[in-house]
Structure 1
Amino acid sequence: MASEHMKEAGRKAMSDGPQAMRKFIEVDQHRIRIDDYRVAIMRLSHDAGPALRAGIESVFKGGESLDQLRHFYEVTQHELRDEDNKVEIARLIGTGGTAVKEAGKKALQGTPADRTAFLKTGRYLAQASDDLVELARIDEGWEGPILSEAISKLLDGSPTPAELRRFLEVTQHELRDQDNGVAIAQIIHGGGPELVKAGRAALMGTPADRVEFLKTGQHEARAKDEAAKNQADKDKDRDQGQGKTEPGQDGKDQGTGSGQGTGSGNTTVAAQGGNGAPLATTGAGDNTTLMAGGAGTTLVAGAGLLLAARMRRAGAKA
């Protein structure tokens, strides 16, 4: 168990004779052990939490005897590490979904080894379960075909917890924006001037611009087009009442204006930007590669959730 430094010093003492060996046993080995423990304890700070980091700083402010360093390395560091683990688990419970909360509370009531296992692998399996529930909720509430098809494809491919997390944190928002772009193009087709103008501006803008158009902008633009149409009808009726002729009628007032404008836009297209709830933050942390067996078991339940959600939606439409 000796370090390379200790081994090298011991070999030199043996080659230098009895007096050097006696000095090594009585003096040098203890000094070298102190140096070795100092190095080992300093290395702990690379992945230390607040409690362990404070403990490392404290031990170096003391006398740094061999017994103190040995006790810190063999006992105290594990106690402080467990304190940091409890704090991290409590944070995950506060921000996580149902599965993460349940698994985290169980870990807090268990042993230090249980808490280490939860932070290493359990949290990701629990998060995957919560993510599957969230995917089912999104699929049930979203009408755009691009995102819904991508969700089906994702689950058919038996994704890992890390792939589920990335889909919810990144991919779903990209696909929502694609669906919103398609919806806007359908809305402005054959619409009035203001609706077309606002829709084109949204298509050339940001994802937030497209969401805003579908939520409120399209209705404001339609109102402007309707107001312009009504004003044009009033002006036409007034001109006809004063005996003014329509251009191209050679002075003959035929009085055939019906006042039926065509610029009101397609008001039957539902906005698709406002029915997706924001994703809950769950603290995914390190995307550690997990065993395929554990992730696969979790996904079986997720497929059932997705199927149930689609059946409920189909029943509601019927």
Structure 2
Amino acid sequence: MKPARFTAIAAAVAITPALLFAVPALATDGGAPKASAPAVSATDGPQAEEDRAAISRILANPYIGPGLREAAQKALDGTPEEMRDFLEVGQHKERLIDDQVRVSRIIGLGGPGVKEAGQKALKGTPEDIVAFLETGQHTARFADDSVRTSQVFSTGGPAVKKAAKEALRTNTPQALQAFLESWQYTARLTDDRDRVTRIAAAGGPAVKAAAAKALKGTPEELRQFLDVGQDEARAKDEAAKKKPAPVKKPAAVKKPAAKR
């Protein structure tokens, strides 16, 4: 493998995360690039025709990696010898490099289990890498999501615990992913609103006013009240209690009216 290829693999971890799960569009108006097959030469034999068709089929797959696509197009534009070399050797090298790049990207975004499984695959055979991409990454991600859900359960409020328990009971990748990406935040909002309401009920005037404002605001404002705002409002209430009451001036004594 050329040094430039190793550089490409190492740099792939920093590539925009959205590229990891992006699926190339099918060959419609804005789909995968179409192969520009050269005109058939009169000197091409049956083998060259078969090779050209085989390379065209590779290029028609919208899911192949960029390295394989570039090498396939170059071979298709080349000589019969170059096409044969690509089919026998080149395509396997390019596919391996593309797969290594994909694994590196997945490692960069994955949890502990995904990282461990991905690194193990990179140290293994091409078959190990394919197995990781097809099944291993999903098995490892499921295990990571189970651990994360259990961690959220242990630190969450009543609503969060209930949602996490349901996800763990269902125990499917879809349920765990839904909890981690959506359900936990909805449940946390319920817990936060309940906490703010209880704090307001037991608080002084400043606490009640700050809590009422938070309850009318965004989830971030609720969290800010719980983290900081309630303490600031409580300090205001304490300061108001310690402030001495204003001294009332004695009422003026009315002088009796003079007798005429």
Common topology (TM > 0.5): yes
> Of residues 240, 243, 254 in structure 1, which corresponds to 2:250?
243
Work out whether 1:191 is the aligned partner of 2:203. Answer: yes
> Of residues 199, 217, 237 in structure 1, which corresponds to 2:229?
217
Work out whether 1:149 is the aligned partner of 2:162. Answer: yes
After superposition, the C-alpha distances for 1:94-153 in whole angstroms (9 at most, x for unaligned) are 4433222221222112211111111111111111112222222222222x1011112122
- Amino acid paired to 1:129: A
Change (3 A) 1:185 1:35: same
Q: Which residue is 1:98 aligned to?
A: 112
Q: Which residue is 1:85 aligned to?
A: 99
Contact kept, 8 Å, 2:66 with 2:98, in 1: the verdict is yes
Q: Which residue is 1:42 aligned to?
A: 59
Contact kept, 8 Å, 2:159 with 2:187, in 1: the verdict is yes
Q: Secondary structure at the match of 1:47?
A: coil
**98-107 vs 117-126, greater mean Cα deviation:** 98-107
Q: Which has the higher contact order (CA 8 A, sep 6+)?
A: 1
Runs of 5+ consecutive residues of structure 1 not aligned to the other structure: 1-24, 246-318
Query: What is the deviation of 1:178?
Result: 1.4
CA RMSD of aligned residues (A): 2.8
Cα distance in 2 for residues equivalent to 1:133 and 1:152? 12
TM-score by length of 1: 0.58
Pairs aligned (count): 211
Contact kept, 8 Å, 2:55 with 2:72, in 1: the verdict is no
- Amino acid paired to 2:53: D
Equivalences for 1:1-318 in 2 at 5 Å?
Answer: 29=46, 32-33=49-50, 35-44=52-61, 46-60=62-76, 62-63=77-78, 65-142=79-156, 144-157=157-170, 159-231=171-243, 234-236=244-246, 238-239=247-248, 242-243=249-250
Runs of 5+ consecutive residues of structure 2 not aligned to the other structure: 1-41, 253-260
- Amino acid paired to 1:133: V
Cα distance in 1 for residues equivalent to 2:181 and 2:251? 63
Sequence identity (%): 37
Q: Which residue is 1:304 aligned to?
A: none
TM-score by length of 2: 0.70
Q: Secondary structure at the match of 2:105?
A: helix
Change (3 A) 1:152 1:222: same
Change (3 A) 1:201 1:53: farther
Cα distance in 2 for residues equivalent to 1:31 and 1:73? 11
After superposition, the C-alpha distances for 1:244-282 in whole angstroms (9 at most, x for unaligned) are 69xxxxxxxxxxxxxxxxxxxxxxxxxxxxxxxxxxxxx
After superposition, the C-alpha distances for 1:19-54 in whole angstroms (9 at most, x for unaligned) are xxxxxx98674675465245323224x223343244
Change (3 A) 1:42 1:186: same
Change (3 A) 1:201 1:66: farther
